[in-house]
Amino acid sequence: MTRRLGFRVVLVAGILLGAAAVNTSPAAAAGVFDWAKQSPAASPSARVGAAMTYDAATGNVVLFGGHDNAGVALSDTWLWDGSTWTQQAPATSPPALFFAAITYDPSIGKVVLFGGEDGTSVFDGTWVWDGTTWTQSPATGPQGRYFASLAYDPTTQDVLLFGGDYTSETWLFNGTTWTQRFPATKPPARSGAAMSYDPPGADVVLFGGASAGTSNARSDTWTWNGTNWAQRAPATTPPPRFGASIGHDTAANAVRLFGGDAGSQGLSDTWMWNGGNWVEQSPTTSPSARAFAPMAENPGTGTDVVFGGLANAGAQSDTWVSQLGANPPSPPRSPSAAAGNARATLRWSAPASNGGSPITGYIVIPFLGSSPLTPRAFNSTATTATVTGLTNGKTYQFKIEAANAVGVSSSVLTNAVKIGGPPGAPTAVTAKAGKAKATVHWKAPASNGGSPITAYVVTPYRNGVAQTARTFNSTATTQTVTNLTAGKSYTFRVAAKNAKGVGKASSPSNAVKPT
């Protein structure tokens, strides 16, 4: 634990001193989603920056800590069962803190909480909730920090931590040990990013945060595949923000993002990440603009629940649940894949049902063996797509998912295809004249197209006019072309052949005259 001034006061000012809340997002999607305010008999007190997540082992949402309207850190634990809040009395608890990171770890069947601050001190403790009490893990891990991002990584089956306290570190926790990772690519340093498990992409998605000061809100989107971070370039994206609410919506098979602080004002917009793009929602009712309000999966419905947070009026104590007016589509049908040169062409039929909301696009996830690669979003209703950037000679399969404004369908799997095409063009073609013949030599193509070269096709040109091509079923790069006319000028072009076909022809050779 390190001693330092807390981040809380700066962030509170960022929203309390802001102008009236506005929605600065692009045109919204059709309204098939809504928020509903709940009226439980009991509730946690008003608070900001509580840690909250869905505990799949018990079927409840667990909430811990936060700070009240006076900035005093809290240490109470509450459970939400979908309709009722119940305060718990665990035998042991973490210290009073706020802005801690939390997630459920299905690998150990428990909730993991890390870090946080109390306004004076920053904590580095790792705590585990087993449904009854909190236990501090003896694991030594990241330096103490607040406002880190925590989510379950389905690829490594570990808990993933990123950033916090303006760092750009990536850590994994396997239930007993923290391990720092050093990916080749990573998001810039930040605090307060929104991060969640992303079911359509079978990865983790991270959005926004603040870098080098609370006014520098970000709007970049990144995904983690278990090994490396990749920056995404969605067609639409929410405005910059930090301290946004984020959660995995099982009912929609998507990730929801709500509110946050733009640095000068609070936000009240709701967005959905479908694995490849952000889609704005148009609820008729919504929580007021706020930041630092935790979100989790709502028990029993698979939608989302949001509690409290910081609004212009101060700390809040209201509970909101998302509702769906339509469903995600059914999966695409009859998927197929055909290999090409460093690409694959996919075809499928539209879903049998659009779930009550128009199809907005499709998500394609390439698989190399059992490893998923970066999903590709096709924001079109077309039922064919070309996936480029593949490696010749490798075998791929593709999962295809349909998306609407509510969420994403389950996936269908194509046949396996070995990527490849015809070979490239031979180079450095030379010719040497002989008696009614010419000896032609060349260098093999730089690429065989992913399939071994089986033959070469040599085409003589007499005075620039193509003559009958000669096929040599050999990988030798020197061949003799016979039955040429003495005294006539010839050039030669060479093409390589493999199982995919005949590739592009080379540039012409030098001109020769057989004797």
Q: Are 265 and 314 in contact (CB under 8 A)?
A: no
Q: Are 117 and 97 in contact (CB under 8 A)?
A: yes
d(CA 145, CA 343): 44
Q: Is the pLDDT at 20 greater than 50, yes or no?
A: no
183 shares a domain with 160? yes
Q: Are 402 and 351 in contact (CB under 8 A)?
A: yes
- Tell me which residue has tokens 């008729």: 284
pLDDT in tens, 211-260: 975 568 999 999 999 999 999 999 999 999 999 999 988 888 889 999 99
251 shares a domain with 215? yes
Q: Is the pLDDT at 397 greater than 70, yes or no?
A: yes
In Å, how far are 3, 309, 410 from 145, measured between CA atoms?
11, 20, 37
Name the least confident of 23-32, 143-152, 357-366, 485-494.
23-32
Q: Is the pLDDT at 464 greater than 80, yes or no?
A: yes
Q: Is the pLDDT at 2 greater than 50, yes or no?
A: no
Residue 507 counted as domain residue = no
Q: What is the pLDDT of residue 10?
A: 36
Residue 514 counted as domain residue = no
Residue 15 phi/psi, 5° resolution? -100, -35
Q: Which residues does 476 contact at the CB level (< 8 Å), separation at least 6? A: none
CATH number of the CATH domain containing 479: 2.60.40.10
Residue 437 counted as domain residue = yes
d(CA 221, CA 277): 10
Supply the range of the domain harboring residue 495: 427-502
Mean pLDDT of the chain: 91
* CB neighbour class for 446 (10 Å; exposed up to 12, middle 13-18, buried from 19): exposed
Residue 510 counted as domain residue = no
d(CA 504, CA 456): 11
Q: What is the pLDDT of residue 251?
A: 80
Residue 11 phi/psi, 5° resolution? -70, -40
Q: Is the pLDDT at 18 greater than 80, yes or no?
A: no
Confidence class of residue 407 from pLDDT cuts 50, 70 and 90? confident
pTM: 0.69
Domain boundary among 324, 343, 375: 324
173 shares a domain with 268? yes
Q: Are 78 and 62 in contact (CB under 8 A)?
A: yes
pLDDT in tens, 434-445: 999 999 999 999
Which one-letter DSSP state was computed for residue 352?
A: S
404 shares a domain with 270? no
Q: Is the pLDDT at 481 greater than 80, yes or no?
A: yes
Q: What is the pLDDT of residue 357?
A: 82
Residue 284 counted as domain residue = yes
pLDDT in tens, 22-80: 232 222 333 357 899 999 999 999 999 999 999 999 999 999 999 999 999 999 999 99
196 shares a domain with 123? yes
In this structure, the strands spanning 470-472 and 455-462 are antiparallel
